[in-house]
Amino acid sequence: MLSKQGWRIMHNDDLLISQCLKARYFPRINSLKASGGYCPSYTWRSILQAQVDVIEKAGIWRVGDGRIVNVWEDNWPPYQNGHKILSPKPPNYDIMFVLDLTHHDI
């Protein structure tokens, strides 16, 4: 149930709870990247725990145009063990997002 609320907060910016939580805990990032912050409310701690348990472990990104999906940190490749890139990021490698994989000059 809490993971469903977390999903609603991520995708419905017009909800009052979404606006309140976003203003306090994650004003410049999306809710999946947010931390507990200083003295988090019981509601926010519960939603974060549900996100860790359900969304982050079992969910994968719908890549779309690839602008916000981080190649090295997000769960995006299907059929990959754990839905993450397993190899470490090479040094001096400037590709960060999936979009960069298709629009990178070689």
Q: Residue with structure tokens 């995006």?
A: 76
Q: Which structure tokens are listed for 102?
A: 């298709």
The predicted structure's pLDDT at residue 44? 82
The predicted structure's pLDDT at residue 83? 67
Give the pLDDT band of residue 104 (cuts 50, 70, 90): low
The predicted structure's pLDDT at residue 61? 62
Residues 25-44 pLDDT 10s: 878 776 667 777 778 888 88
Domain ranges of the chain: 2-58, 60-106
Of residues 63 and 97, which shows the higher confidence score? Answer: 97
Q: Is 97 helix (H, G, I), strand (E, B) or coil?
A: strand
In angstroms, the CA 86 to CA 72 distance is: 8
Of residues 51 and 91, which shows the higher confidence score? Answer: 91
What separation, in Å, do the N-terminal and C-terminal C-alpha atoms of the chain show? Answer: 46
